[in-house]
Structure 1
Amino acid sequence: MARYTKTAMVFHWVIAVLIVGAFVLGLIMTDIPGFSPTKLKYYSWHKWAGVTVLALAALRLLWRLLHPAPGYPASMQSWEKAAAHHLHLLLYVLMFAVPVSGYFYTLAAGVPVVYFGVLPLPVLIDVDPALKVVLKAVHYWLTMGLAALVAVHVAAALKHAIINRDRVLQRMLP
C-alpha cells in the first residue's frame, strides 16, 4: 500500500502535537483565575503554538499540493472515501482558521503577539472591544469544531487499524 512521504508524516505529527498542546493550554489558561505570571506564560505558549501551527499548516499545504496523498484502499466504500476527503478538507481549513481567529482576537484585545518573545508580528487591526467579543466566540467555536473533527479523525484511524485492519493508519506512521 502506498504511504505518505516522510515529510508529510513529520508535518502531520508535529502539527497534531501542537494542536493538542495548544488546546490543552487553552483549557488550562482560561481556568486560571485573575492575572498571574503563570497565566501570562501559558497565554504566550498558546499563541506561539498557534502561530507555529499556522506556519507549518501553510508549508504542509504547499507540500500536499506538490506531493498528492496516497490513494485509499479499494476495500473502502465510496462514502468512506468521500467522508475522509471532506474531513481532511475541513481539518485543513480549521488549521488556518483557528490560529487566524485567535490572532485577530488578540489584536482586537490590544495585546501584541510577539513570537517566542522576540519577533513582534504585525498589528493588522486596531483595538476594538466589540470585535474582541465576537472574535473570542469565533475562536472558541472554531476550536471546539477542530477538537471534534480531530476526535472523529482519530476514531476513524483506530477503526481502520482495529476493525478493518486495512493498513490505512500505517500510511501515516513512521
Structure 2
Amino acid sequence: MSLKNPPDRWGGVSTGLHWLIALLILLLGIVGLTMGELPRTPKYFWVYTTHKSLGISVLILVALRVVWRLYAGAPRPLPGTPGWQRRIATATHVLLYLLMFALPLSGWLYDSASGLRPFRLFGLLEMPKLSAPDDLLAQLAHGVHEWGFWLLILAVLAHAAAAFYHHLHQRDATLARMLPRGWLAPPQKESA
C-alpha cells in the first residue's frame, strides 16, 4: 500500500494534513478574535503564547503539506470539469497557501518587531526573533496579520462553497475525495 495519493482521490496523509490545518486555523481564528478582550492575567499570556505556538505549528504543517504534495502528487482532475473551474480552483489554492504562510510569518514578525521577549514554542523551544524592535515594521506586520486573516476567511468560504457546489449541484466527487474514505459517498448523477 502506497502512502501517495491515488489517481482518483486524496490519500490519508493529504486529507489528514488538510483537516488538521483547517482545524488549527479555525481554533487560531477563534482565539485570535477573542484574546484581545482577556484581562491581563497569567492566563492572558498563556493564551497569547499558545496562539503563537499554534501559528508556528500551522506554518510547519503547511510547509510539510507542500513537500508532501510535491512527493505524493495530486489526483487526476475530475472528468468533465471545465477549464475555467480548474483555473479558479488553482488560483484559490495558491491564495490559500500564500495566506497560510503569510499569517504565521507576519504574526511572528509582529512579535519580533514589537520588542517583546522571545516566546517559547509550547514552553519548550525559544523562538528566534525575525527582526530587531521596529515600530513601523511591527505595525506593518500586524496589518498584514489582521487583514490577511479576513482575506483567508473569504478564501476558505469560497473554497468550501465550491466543494459544496460540486457535491450538491455538479454531483461529483470533489468533496468526497478530500474526506476519509467512506465518510461521504459521491452523489449519484440524476439520469435524464
**Map of 1:163-174 to 2, 5 A cutoff?**
163-174=169-180
1:60 corresponds, among 65, 74, 79, to 65
**Map of 1:1-174 to 2, 5 A cutoff?**
2-32=8-38, 34-111=39-116, 112-174=118-180
Shift of 1:143: 1.3
- Looking at structure 2, the residues matched to 41 and 98 of structure 1 have their Cα atoms a distance apart, in angstroms, of 20
Q: Could you say which structure has the higher helix fraction?
A: 1
- Looking at structure 2, the residues matched to 45 and 96 of structure 1 have their Cα atoms a distance apart, in angstroms, of 18
Q: Which has the larger radius of gyration?
A: 2
Q: Which runs of 5+ in 1 are unaligned?
A: none
TM-score (norm 2): 0.85
TM-score (norm 1): 0.94
Shift of 1:123: 1.6
Shift of 1:35: 2.1
8 Å Cα contact 1:157/1:169 also seen in 2: yes
Shift of 1:92: 1.0
Shift of 1:60: 0.5
8 Å Cα contact 1:107/1:125 also seen in 2: yes
Shift of 1:48: 1.1
Equivalenced residue count is 173
Q: What letter matches 2:140 in structure 1?
A: V
Q: Percent identity?
A: 39
| Cα distance per residue 1:3-34 (max 9 Å; x no partner) | 111111111010010111101110011233x5
